[in-house]
Amino acid sequence: MKLVKTDKRRFSLKSTRTTTLVLATSALVLAACGTTSSTSSTSSGSTSQPSGSATSGNITWWASPIGQVGIRANLISHFEKAYPKIHVTLESAPTNTDTNRSQLVTEISGGSTSPDVFMGDVIWPAQFGAHGLAVPLSKYLPSSYFAKFAPGLVAGATYKNQVYGSPLFEDQGFLYYRKDLLAKANLPVPKTWQQLESESLTLEKDNLVKYGFVWEGDSYEGLTCDFMEYLTSAGGKVVNSSYTQAQLNSPAAFKALTFMRSLITSGASPQAVTTFQEPQAMAVFDAGNAAFLRNWDYAWSNSQNPADSKVVGDVGVAPLPTFAGQSYPGYSNIGGWNLYINPHSKNVAADLTFIKWMSSTEAQTILGKTYSEIPTVESVRQTLAASSSTPPPLRVAAQTRLVPRPAGTPNYPQLSTAIYTNVNGALSGSMSVSAALKAAQSQAQTALSGGL
């Protein structure tokens, strides 16, 4: 799980492990009070005046390696051509996102003015915003700036009505399927979860494949991602809009988890899926032993690498299904990275110039067209999707609906743990679905209330 292309899954999984944010000092708590009380431009339409110059100065950008080698340097080069009086120094952040976060917390909480801008996980806004570790961007940028991003991305970057992260590139769940097997069985690409289960069983029964559907069912953050997709398609939510009340013990959650369990009990998915993370699910699919796979965008390149895959040329990509009776497609959980500003930066105006350029058509096209990262700006997504030369996941991304994880609380790590441990318990059969949801509801409510 790393940010280089061969192990890019880090930003979807390792970046969301449930380590607890370092406790803030008294001074940091006071700083947080100041940031959360500032006026939001998204609601008032007004913006504040940032410090420094918007067209000159020095910026330090803290960023982990992104996909292919050279992306960060290429982006900086293009930015500096557009703004020759702003110099950007790259600081390469750790590829382990928990280590990355820990170092940032230590530096920023200690008052360091560097880095000025940092690349961070999509689930950081509440944790960093609550402790004064990031600037509320909506204090300086108008609502029109945030309107250009794909639906769901800004909601995931918001904490207490303030937007803290500017979406840079994203990842999401996709349905990978064996085109050759569906053709042999004369089956369509499934659009509902029930259809996927039925087709999986048909392909197994006809001895065309060992397993029908493989996915991430282990007790870890990836299972929270998967569960969010089923839950949202069933019409449910984890919490209410104010993050004061958990909503996990609901009919929608019961429907979602009951179906997930049925995938295993019916034989559509192997029992071992309860121990699968991304690498294990992908390995089974790439070995030719599964008809369907739920995974992130990097699974495409893995499936087309002859050194790792026996299914090169036989893989299709589609949006995730939904439940019967619901509008297609289903929902894809959001992974990826945002750009944040250090509240101690001396040149916020230049920082904002850098962040705004990174969300420009030029920068987003470089990320998508040149490096196959999924752009966050909707217009760029649609433009790339129209090109036949665009890799399938990027074409499909423009058709999907996104849902963020319920990370709008500083205690998201505890909330996610409440979800994935109990969902895994139901999947493995050690708990009933009802018991698992009751336990998840209780533990989630404790997390929302600030308990451990």
Q: Are residues 150 and 215 in the same domain?
A: no
Q: Other CB atoms closer than 10 Å to residue 136's CB: what's the count?
A: 27
> Is the pLDDT confidence value at 9 over 80?
no
Q: Which domain holds residue 42?
A: 5-171+335-403
Whole-prediction pTM: 0.88
> Is the pLDDT confidence value at 36 over 90?
no
Residues across the chain: 452
Arithmetic mean of pLDDT over the chain: 90
Q: Are residues 209 and 324 in the same domain?
A: yes
In the chain, the number of structural domains is: 2
- The domain that holds 340 is classified in CATH as 3.40.190.10
**Among the three residues 403, 423, 440, which one is the final residue of a domain in this structure?**
403
pLDDT at residue number 4: 35
Share of the chain above pLDDT 90, in %: 87
Q: Are residues 180 and 323 in the same domain?
A: yes
Q: Are residues 312 and 339 in the same domain?
A: no
pLDDT at residue number 45: 52
Strand, coil or helix: what is 23? coil
Instruction: Return the amino acid letter for 104.
Output: L
Q: Are residues 415 and 347 in the same domain?
A: no
Q: Are residues 339 and 288 in the same domain?
A: no
Q: Are residues 84 and 232 in the same domain?
A: no
pLDDT at residue number 2: 34
pLDDT at residue number 69: 84
pLDDT at residue number 96: 87
Q: Are residues 166 and 186 in the same domain?
A: no
**Among the three residues 367, 382, 403, which one is the final residue of a domain in this structure?**
403
Q: Are residues 238 and 259 in the same domain?
A: yes
Q: 387-401 pLDDT, tens per residue?
A: 999 999 999 999 999
Mean pLDDT of 51-68: 94
> Is the pLDDT confidence value at 42 over 60?
no
pLDDT at residue number 451: 59
Residue 311: CA atoms inside 13 Å, Cβ hemisphere, count? 27
Q: Other CB atoms closer than 10 Å to residue 364's CB: what's the count?
A: 27
Binned at pLDDT 50, 70 and 90, residue 231 comes out as: very high
3-state DSSP percent of the chain in helix, strand and coil, to 5: 45, 15, 40
Q: 164-188 pLDDT, tens per residue?
A: 999 999 999 999 999 999 999 999 9
Q: 74-109 pLDDT, tens per residue?
A: 999 999 999 999 999 999 999 988 899 999 999 999
Binned at pLDDT 50, 70 and 90, residue 358 comes out as: very high
Separation CA 210–CA 191 (nearest Å): 22
Q: Whose CA is closest to 398, among 386, 389, 408, 409? A: 386
In angstroms, the Cα distances linking 106 to 100, 128, 131, 181, 361 are 10, 12, 12, 52, 34
Q: 142-154 pLDDT, tens per residue?
A: 999 999 999 999 9
Separation CA 436–CA 254 (nearest Å): 10
Q: Are residues 158 and 260 in the same domain?
A: no
Separation CA 127–CA 14 (nearest Å): 17
Q: Are residues 240 and 165 in the same domain?
A: no
Q: Are residues 186 and 107 in the same domain?
A: no
Q: 432-447 pLDDT, tens per residue?
A: 999 999 999 999 999 9
Q: 276-326 pLDDT, tens per residue?
A: 999 999 999 999 999 999 999 999 999 999 999 999 999 999 999 999 999
Instruction: Label residue 36 exposed, middle or buried (CB < 10 Å: 0-12, 13-18, 19+).
Output: middle
